[in-house]
Structure 1
Amino acid sequence: MKYRFFEHEQFNYETLLALGSAYRQAADPGEVLAAAERIVDGDAESWFTTWTELGRRVRDQADRSYGQGRQVSAREAFLRAAAYLATALISIDGTADPGRSGLVFREHRDCFEHFAAACDPPAEPVAIPYEGGSLPGYLFSPPDAGGPLPTVIVNNGSDGPLTAVWALIGAGAVARGYRALLFDGPGQQSTLFQHGVPFRHDWEKVITPVVDFLLGREDVDGTRIALIGISQAGYWVPRALAFEHRIAVAVADPGIMDVSTSWWQHMPAEMRALWESGERETFDAFMREAVKEPEHAAVWAWRSKPYGIESPFDLFTEIGKYTLDPVVERITTPLLITDPEGESFWPGQSRQLYEALPGPKELVRFTEAEGADLHCEPLGRAVFEQRVFDWTDARLETGGEVAARREPDQ
């Protein structure tokens, strides 16, 4: 996609993502374009302030509609407000007052909860039992849903809000007659911002409790559970499939063999050599010097925060665990892997994963010519939904590739 709103890479990508989410009413193109015009390119405070003001203005509209009993207007405005407030937070670490993130995140989730409650039928807030506590989530259902239905587990990536995964996956699933489970896993959204729980590489320890939870419900068809993951979940989804065999079909958007490559790709070879030789103090000193510039510091803070590790050396060591090499041969669940042209974080890895898989698989290309390129196809949502859900529908409806219910590997 050659058209640009900003020279700042993240600002530009997030604007494309906001525009694409209009396909599922999580944004209004006019509001997005008007906001983009007011933002100073690369200025974190300008980005944060503009999106926060827009989100609060739309939330006020939602409150007025709700008070007047205008259910549709309120629902749509609460969703947009939630999305805009979440978009504001991507620059918070580059501002002079990152501490404002807590307030704006709570405003974002409050708007999303109002949206979820105003859906038809209302989404059900759920607590998924997890290691002595629980993971928060929402179970969305199609109108007039009755009896056990096929269900999509929507697996978020590293930093996206629930509004993003609703617009990217959840809404399309519900429109096609699925129930859709959105949840915060370790290191994601509320589990990170409100409880400080970090990521983990062994994602089967997350997905197995989610599957257990769904199998305990009478309104879920346990033989027709799909797992669809975006962004860094392109690693987490296949990782979970290597151990959890009760998933019928799965999608990775995009496919990721090794998460660490997105961290190393812009690093000098000398830094890799320091890390490999175990020179922890020297590595940390160089890294902390390298991210002193405000823009670099903001990116580092945003990307490293979900791992909960202070030392750069230790962080890179942890990220080194996020590889499918030791487990990919165990994956037998039918898996669709997207391969978007212009993938910036993990270029080439969708095909690497496809070629490494021993079981049923499909690689689906998305191109610039059809407007569906870039990481997670931000502007190609109709094209994405058609290809991905036609694929899952065919496999879940025929029953031929739906495995019998089995216990997860220990």
Structure 2
Amino acid sequence: MTQRFSDNVQFDYEIVVALGSAWRQGADVGEVLATASAVADAGGQEWFDAWAALGRRVREQADRDAGRGHSVSARDAWLRAAGYLGTALVGVDAATDPDKRLAEVFPEHRACFDRFLAAWEPPAEPVAIPYEDMSLPGYLISPSGASDVPGRSPTLIVNNGSDGPVSTAWTMLGAPAVARGYRVLLFDGPGQQSMLFEHGVTFRPDWEEVITPVVDFLLARPDVDPARIVLAGISQAGYWVPRAVAFEHRIAAAVADPGVTRVVDSWWHNLGPDLRALWESGERDTFDRVLEGALAEDPALAATWRWRAKPYGIEAPSALLAEVCRYDLGPVVGRISTPLLITDPDGEHFWPGASRELYDALPGPKRLVRFTEAEGAHRHCEPMGRALFEQRVFDWLDGFVSPNGRSKVTP
């Protein structure tokens, strides 16, 4: 479990995520390991090229299978292709002409995922969720045989993180929920994937203004049980989910994987104490000069910074960090009454200690679930412990929404 696949911390983590997604057929272990070996010491350009090439190769095979009537092979390959193309985009800001490459590969990624969901049984329903003066794109995915079950279904809203592809949101949360009888809503919120790349809509800290329209949309449907809507989020959604349920009280239970109290803590963890001290001194012009100088000397760090900053739509470092500081649960945590499960994995490298801090601050029903290195379920979002994650988290959620029809209980 101490095996490293890349000297680049972000790339190493993405490889582990890809390996873990094999549990829900989002990748093939051999394909991932072969590509990881080829890019072990590579920079962003080589990373992007290798994963994009793999994704396109798998997509081409899926298309051939579909043309020959091999529907299961085609469906599964489209999902893998979507995942690999999404993995390529992690390195896009280190590639030459990143805007052009993003404009090429992101539509390919989404087209593969669309074809996967169209081949699902029953086919997923593309939806447009009314939001302010526009709409949020999403998918409503039902379990097999859902049309044969009378009544309204429990529904899981999947809240993606800051920069992960929708295919990862599917393998981490959507697929296990559908397997357990939930209807699942996947969507892109402000700053996420299509809303950012195609519409230029950036993040917002007041995520209740996103989730409330999502809940309104679901409640207008005749196939959704209004008493059995749950919300689960991964990575930075560990902030957005608690923030939303502090104001939106029509959700039966929620999951934050992991807990996030202050989003900016993950930035300070990577920038170090000296830059933080300079920021806190109030010398913002000096801070910008020093940080911009460091980014100019380290192209890999600069590419990671651009990728992380992109969803906020702010270029100046001090202005960006001032915005990220607004993503703070402290002022609203006392309003949270929705039952909330928080994961707490060993080796959490973005927000170490935040899950326990959030758990201790919650005034209402709560559960803290540990995932350890000894059981192979450590690191941010438990990438290699998906079976354990599903067992512990969905057993808890099932107690609130009873997807199998048993009478509802409150664990």
State whether TM-score is above 0.5: yes
CA drift at 1:275:
3.0
Q: Residues 112-143 of structure 1: CA distance to partner in whole angstroms, max 9, x if unpaired?
A: 00001000000000000000100000000001
* Residue type of the alignment partner of 1:127: A
Asked if 2 retains the 8 angstrom alpha-carbon contact of 1:124 and 1:139, the reply is yes
Correspondent of 1:243 among 238, 241, 247: 247
Separation in 1, partners of 2:269, 2:166:
28
* Residue type of the alignment partner of 2:360: E
Separation in 2, partners of 1:272, 1:79:
41
CA drift at 1:276:
3.4
Q: Residues 47-92 of structure 1: CA distance to partner in whole angstroms, max 9, x if unpaired?
A: 1111111110100111011111221111001100111011011011
Separation in 2, partners of 1:3, 1:58:
26
Separation in 2, partners of 1:203, 1:298:
27
1:150 equivalent in structure 2: 154
Separation in 1, partners of 2:127, 2:272:
45
2:183 equivalent in structure 1: 179
Correspondent of 1:345 among 339, 342, 350: 350
Correspondent of 2:366 among 358, 361, 384: 361
* Residue type of the alignment partner of 1:387: R
Separation in 2, partners of 1:252, 1:210:
18
CA drift at 1:265:
2.1
Q: Residues 18-70 of structure 1: CA distance to partner in whole angstroms, max 9, x if unpaired?
A: 01000000101111111112114141121111111111010011101111122
CA drift at 1:400:
4.4
CA drift at 1:274:
3.9
1:312 equivalent in structure 2: 317
SS of structure 1 residue aligned to 2:130: strand
Separation in 2, partners of 1:268, 1:327:
28
Asked if 2 retains the 8 angstrom alpha-carbon contact of 1:151 and 1:220, the reply is yes
Separation in 1, partners of 2:226, 2:300:
47
Asked if 1 retains the 8 angstrom alpha-carbon contact of 2:7 and 2:40, the reply is no
1:64 equivalent in structure 2: 64
CA drift at 1:273:
4.1
- Counting only pairs closer than 5 Å after superposition, residues 154-233 of structure 1 correspond to structure 2 as 154-233=158-237
SS of structure 2 residue aligned to 1:354: helix
Asked if 1 retains the 8 angstrom alpha-carbon contact of 2:399 and 2:409, the reply is no
* Residue type of the alignment partner of 2:24: R
1:119 equivalent in structure 2: 120
Separation in 1, partners of 2:381, 2:14:
11
1:130 equivalent in structure 2: 131
SS of structure 2 residue aligned to 1:168: helix
Asked if 1 retains the 8 angstrom alpha-carbon contact of 2:83 and 2:167, the reply is yes
Separation in 2, partners of 1:266, 1:207:
30
CA drift at 1:238:
0.2
CA drift at 1:272:
3.0
The 1:12/1:268 distance shift into structure 2, 3 A limit, reads closer
CA drift at 1:278:
3.7
Q: Residues 187-233 of structure 1: CA distance to partner in whole angstroms, max 9, x if unpaired?
A: 00000011111100000000000000000001111100110000000
Q: Which moved more, 1:276-285 or 1:230-239?
A: 276-285
Q: Residues 159-193 of structure 1: CA distance to partner in whole angstroms, max 9, x if unpaired?
A: 00010000000000000000010000000000001
Separation in 2, partners of 1:206, 1:352:
25
Q: How many aligned residue pairs are there?
A: 402
CA drift at 1:369:
1.0
2:109 equivalent in structure 1: 108
* Residue type of the alignment partner of 1:106: P
1:261 equivalent in structure 2: 265
TM-score (norm 1): 0.96
Separation in 1, partners of 2:21, 2:274:
41
TM-score (norm 2): 0.95
Asked if 2 retains the 8 angstrom alpha-carbon contact of 1:173 and 1:180, the reply is yes
Are 1:378 and 2:383 matched, yes or no? yes
Q: Residues 85-117 of structure 1: CA distance to partner in whole angstroms, max 9, x if unpaired?
A: 110110111122212111000100000000010
The 1:315/1:226 distance shift into structure 2, 3 A limit, reads same
* Residue type of the alignment partner of 2:109: H
Q: CA RMSD in A?
A: 1.3
Q: Residues 234-289 of structure 1: CA distance to partner in whole angstroms, max 9, x if unpaired?
A: 00000001000000000000001111111112335453344334433222222211
Structure 1 unaligned blocks of 5 or more: 403-410
1:408 equivalent in structure 2: none
1:94 equivalent in structure 2: 94
Identity among equivalent pairs (%): 64
